[in-house]
């Protein structure tokens, strides 16, 4: 505590904080931050589960729609392989035709798409349509579909063909469908399924 002489009187005074006061202040602020930082992080990320749930619903709904379609437009109604009808010939690879919508199938009108590969290249951002072409909005979401032929005559089935590579097999009985959904937090969800000519 400094002291000095003024008008023949000793005046003592203090300025600033003592070391003990500084240490106690730092400890209190440290404990407070340990409590508040997780609280603010949980508030910041509280909508994440809901955003993920919407992304999953968006991807699963489209995957269910695609998997309900025929393997190819020439597949018989009710299922069954294209080509020989004998039981031993089921699953025989057939020549891979061009993936994508066939003549007369309109680009963004899913109600007239009749087989799985019609969905190849289908994508939406923010504005979506259900399977009856009824519009709905989910801002910040995007969804895209890739359909590829994969060779199924390998053991195990070849799965390492990159998404987006088309006509990877010259003859195939299997198509791989990938639905990719991106949420507003930029999380990417992949839904993958195989459909076979059986």
The pLDDT tens digits along the chain (198 residues) read 455 555 556 555 556 778 888 899 999 988 888 887 877 776 666 668 888 899 999 999 999 999 988 888 777 776 666 665 544 444 555 555 556 777 777 777 787 888 888 888 889 998 888 877 788 898 999 999 988 877 666 655 555 555 444 444 555 677 889 999 999 989 999 999 988 877
What 8-state DSSP symbol labels residue 127? E
Q: What are the start-end ranges of the E strands in the chain?
A: 3-6, 9-12, 94-95, 123-129, 135-149, 171-172, 174-182, 188-196
3-state secondary structure of 89: helix
Do residues 133 and 115 lie in contact, with contact meaning Cβ atoms separated by under 8 Å? no
Q: What are the start-end ranges of the E strands in 13-110?
A: 94-95
pLDDT score of 70: 85
d(CA 119, CA 113): 8
The pTM of this model reads 0.66
Do residues 163 and 178 lie in contact, with contact meaning Cβ atoms separated by under 8 Å? yes
175 closest CA partner among 98, 88, 112, 76? 98
Q: Given the structure tokens 């031993």, which residue do they identify?
A: 88
């Amino acid at each position: 505590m400094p002291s000095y002489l003024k008008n023949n009187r000793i005046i003592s005074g203090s300025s600033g904080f003592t070391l003990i006061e500084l240490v106690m202040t730092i400890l209190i602020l440290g404990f407070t931050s340990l409590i508040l930082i997780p609280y603010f992080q949980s508030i910041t990320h509280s909508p994440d589960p809901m955003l993920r749930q919407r992304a999953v619903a968006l991807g699963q709904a489209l995957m269910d729609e695609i998997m309900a379609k025929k393997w190819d437009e020439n597949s018989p109604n009710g299922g069954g392989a294209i080509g020989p009808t004998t039981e031993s010939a089921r699953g025989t690879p057939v020549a891979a035709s061009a993936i994508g919508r066939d003549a007369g199938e309109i680009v963004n009108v899913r109600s007239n798409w009749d087989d799985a590969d019609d969905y190849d290249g289908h994508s939406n951002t923010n504005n979506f349509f259900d399977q009856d072409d009824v519009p709905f909005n989910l801002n910040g979401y995007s969804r895209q579909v890739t359909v590829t032929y994969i060779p199924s005559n390998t053991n195990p089935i070849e799965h390492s063909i990159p998404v987006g590579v088309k006509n990877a097999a010259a003859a195939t009985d299997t198509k791989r469908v990938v639905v990719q959904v991106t949420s507003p937090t930029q999380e990417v969800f992949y839904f993958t399924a195989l459909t076979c000519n059986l």
